[in-house]
Amino acid sequence: FSVAAAAARAEIEQEPFLETTEGTGINITCSHSKIRIDEMICWYHQLPGKGPELLVSIHKDSKELPDSAGHVWMSADRRWSWLWLAEPRRGDAAVYYCALG
């Protein structure tokens, strides 16, 4: 199964394409070096034929995804965040976005 990644703003960078096998965890990295102190990072996924759906938003530290599907972490300097999908299934194949919010 494959994961496409897209940045919602020019100051954000992600890998354009990641791939894993079903059940094998995958880490998606997002760089946001110009994040402001009042901004959060929002992670979305967009399934084929659907609109974007918010997975999680984070201001610092880490947060678990709904249904224990994985975690999102933010670096201490808030310039990086990572979305970890613990045991992805074929139904999780989607475009994953990080955005400043």
Domains, the chain, in order of start with CATH, read 25-100 (2.60.40.10)
pLDDT tens per residue across all 101 residues of the chain: 555 555 555 578 887 788 899 999 999 999 998 899 999 999 999 999 999 999 999 999 999 998 888 999 999 999 999 999 999 998 899 999 899 88
Rounded CA separation 84/55 (Å): 12
Query: What Rg, from alpha-carbon coordinates, does the chain have?
Result: 13
Instruction: Report the predicted TM-score, pTM, of the whole model to 2 decimal places.
Output: 0.84
DSSP 34: T
**E-assigned strand segments in 1-101:** 2-7, 12-14, 17-19, 26-32, 41-46, 53-58, 62-64, 70-74, 80-85, 94-100
